[in-house]
C-alpha cells in the first residue's frame, strides 16, 4: 500500500496498525478520535502544525521497520 496524503487516518490504521505509535509519540489525538474516518493525513498534519512530508516520512519509517522485523 502506498501512503498518500489524501488517505484517512482510519484507512491507514486498518492496514498498518503499527503507525499508531507515530501519532502517540507526537501526542496527536488522531487514534480513537471520531474524525479519524474523515481526516486525511494532510488534514492532521495541518491541524497539528506538522510538515506533511515529515509526517509521511515518519509513517513510512514505522511501516518499513515493521516489515523488516
Q: Is residue 33 part of a domain?
A: yes
Q: Is residue 3 part of a domain?
A: no
Q: Is residue 1 part of a domain?
A: no
Three-state SS at 8: strand
How many whole angstroms separate alpha carbon 44 and alpha carbon 13?
Answer: 14
Q: Is residue 4 part of a domain?
A: no
Per-residue pLDDT, 67? 67
**H/E element, 64:** helix 52-67
pLDDT, tens only, 11-68: 999 999 999 999 999 988 888 888 888 999 999 999 999 999 999 999 999 999 876 6
Please give the residue range of the domain that contains residue 28. 9-67
Q: Is residue 17 part of a domain?
A: yes
Per-residue pLDDT, 53? 97
Per-residue pLDDT, 69? 55
Q: Is residue 37 part of a domain?
A: yes
Number of structural domains found in the chain: 1
Q: CA-CA-CA-CA torsion for 37, 39, 40, 46, nearest 10 degrees?
A: -160
Q: Is residue 22 part of a domain?
A: yes
The grid coordinates of residue 34 equal 471520531
The Cα-based distances of 27 to 22, 23, 50 in angstroms read 9, 6, 12
Per-residue pLDDT, 34? 82
Amino acid at each position: 500500500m502506498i501512503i498518500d496524503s489524501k488517505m484517512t487516518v482510519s484507512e491507514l490504521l486498518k492496514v498498518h496498525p503499527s503507525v499508531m505509535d507515530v501519532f502517540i509519540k507526537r501526542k496527536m489525538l488522531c487514534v480513537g478520535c471520531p474524525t479519524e474516518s474523515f481526516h486525511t493525513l494532510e488534514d492532521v498534519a495541518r491541524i497539528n502544525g506538522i510538515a506533511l512530508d515529515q509526517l509521511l516520512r515518519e509513517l513510512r519509517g514505522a511501516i518499513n521497520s515493521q516489515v523488516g522485523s
